[in-house]
Chain A
């Protein structure tokens, strides 16, 4: 079993819909990251969380340390949000920077 699991693997939405992508992990962590990978391959770091909730524009990320679960929400989704969203964790006791990745969620937002 992977240490970082994401669901769903694929998600198709209509423009304007509210999107939720989930991430569960089975190890102790010092931080959780949400990354975005566009079709060209480049990766952008969206959020780094160790507790609570963060918001940036239409994106919201939450984490529940006790339940070992994080969610990424996109409000008023737009076709340009179409990308692969990757959850990654920095394990406790290890290097702060070495990440363990989930397999990603492919989001397609149709106009």
Chain B
């Protein structure tokens, strides 16, 4: 099956620093990727849609200047959490679209901001 990777799998950073999370589709090209966050015991919440070659589309309530998304190639999207604060600590998951209705999820990145 299709594989989507995320790096790093977990990261701890200090408040005020920025953290970059990578999402790669390893064996297919993805013009569309999604970024989600998940708080403990909560469902996934869509943050933004990442489109190769164009600006990301953010969901209501998600700060685009805080969560920078760059879809630099057909296999790579990055999420940068800028000036991270403890409330940004969460589990971030990406997914990549291979074809109609085929959506593959990454393993997730656990971010802890101290």
Q: Contact residues of A with B, CB < 8 Å?
A: 31, 33, 35, 40-45, 48, 86, 90, 95-99, 101-104
Contacts and interface: CB of A to CB of B under 8 A. Distances in A.
Interface residues of B, number: 22
Mostly helix, strand, loop or mixed at chain B's interface?
strand
B91 interface: yes
A98 B44 contact: no
B44 A101 contact: yes
A31 B44 contact: no
Nearest to B93: A43
A98 B46 CA distance: 8
A7 to B, nearest CB: 14
Contacts of A104: 43
Given A41-B110, A97-B32, A98-B34, A103 B43 contact: yes
A40 B107 contact: yes
Interface of B: 32, 34, 38, 42-44, 46, 49, 91, 93, 95, 97, 100-108, 110
A100 to B, nearest CB: 9
What are the 10 closest A-B residue pairs judged by CB atoms, nearest first?
A43-B105, A42-B107, A41-B108, A101-B43, A103-B43, A97-B97, A101-B44, A48-B101, A31-B101, A41-B91
B103 A45 contact: yes
A71 to B, nearest CB: 19
Contacts of A43: 44, 93, 95, 105, 108
27 contacts: A35-B105, A40-B107, A41-B38, A41-B107, A42-B105, A42-B107, A42-B108, A43-B93, A43-B95, A43-B105, A43-B108, A45-B104, A45-B105, A48-B101, A48-B102, A86-B43, A86-B44, A95-B49, A97-B32, A97-B34, A97-B97, A97-B101, A97-B103, A98-B34, A99-B44, A101-B43, A103-B42
